[in-house]
Amino acid sequence: MAQAQRRRITLERTYRTTPKEVWELWTTADGIEAWWGPDGFEVKVRRLDLRPGGELDYTMTAIAPDQIEFLKQAGMKLSTEHRVTFVEVSSQRRLAYTMMADFIPGVEPYEVSTVVEFEPAPGGVKLMVTFDAMHDDRWTQLATMGWESQLARLAKLLET
């Protein structure tokens, strides 16, 4: 699937905090484990090498009954291993990475690109997450819902 032909989705959120605090939650193992993944999942970072060409390896596991049931019905594993490869790392401004969508039954693995931009905003930081659409509308909707859930988890963490 050629990336140039895929549409991109952008989600924007503004958080009442500093770019540094949001950046650290995106770029440290403790930060990532605190919020990464949709509601009902937990993440364990195995390795993090934050530099262009570096990688983030993590395991995502369903822990809530609804997510466990969804994955079972879809014929998917409850835990999946993921590898993110960083393309751009510009401290507190921009983070770009790719990862393989290799967990979808019956679909050949393909690469998904994501760009995260951090901009100062009145009273906080504006975060823009732009990611490739998935292979079909249903999976694009699921990916978007997953990102919306993740960003809500990030907001809750920043409120504490």
pLDDT digit string, tens, across residues 119-141: 999 989 999 999 999 999 989 99
| pTM score | 0.87
56, 47 contact by CB (below 8 A): yes
CATH value at residue 28: 3.30.530.20
In this predicted structure, what is the pLDDT of residue 71? Answer: 81
Supply the mean pLDDT for the chain. Answer: 92
Rounded CA gap, 141 and 4, in Å? 19
pLDDT digit string, tens, across residues 45-97: 999 999 999 999 999 999 989 988 988 888 888 888 999 999 999 999 999 99
CA 63 to chain centre: 18
Could you list the residue range(s) of the whole structural domain that residue 99 is in?
Answer: 3-159
Domain count, the chain: 1
In this predicted structure, what is the pLDDT of residue 2? Answer: 44
